[in-house]
Amino acid sequence: MDERRLKGLMGLCVRAGQGVFGEEGCLKSLRSGQAALALLDGDISPGSAEKLESVCRRERIPAFRLPPGFLEEATGRPGKVMAVRPGGFALQMTGCLEAPDTKD
């Protein structure tokens, strides 16, 4: 995972209005097909994580766990989950998150 690139994409995504924050808002987006992926901060509670990941599995939407504090650091917004609307940002972030770690 290229953390620097991912943080940049996440910041741009938020500024472009393509991110949804908060557990309820994300669940609504995921269930309605308005989200292409979910990003879960490492500090998320186990119950919330299970609920969100369960919806993602059912809807066949990728969910990625990030290091603790990564979400707020990248977006400037407090919270433990972000859903990304379908489009270029979601595709680029998915590619970035699925890429093998190139650090030695």
In a domain, 68, yes or no: yes
Domain count, the chain: 1
Over the stretch 33-87, which tens digit does the pLDDT of each residue have?
999 999 999 999 999 999 999 999 999 999 999 999 999 999 999 889 999 999 9
Task: Report pTM.
Answer: 0.91
In a domain, 71, yes or no: yes
In a domain, 74, yes or no: yes
Strands 63-65 and 81-84 turn out to be: unpaired
CB 56 within 8 A of CB 65: no
What CATH number is given to the structural domain containing 7? 3.30.1330.30
Please tell me the predicted confidence (pLDDT) of residue 104: 42
CB 101 within 8 A of CB 57: no
CA distance 74 to 53: 21
Please tell me the predicted confidence (pLDDT) of residue 101: 62
Over the stretch 24-46, which tens digit does the pLDDT of each residue have?
999 999 999 999 999 999 999 99
In a domain, 7, yes or no: yes
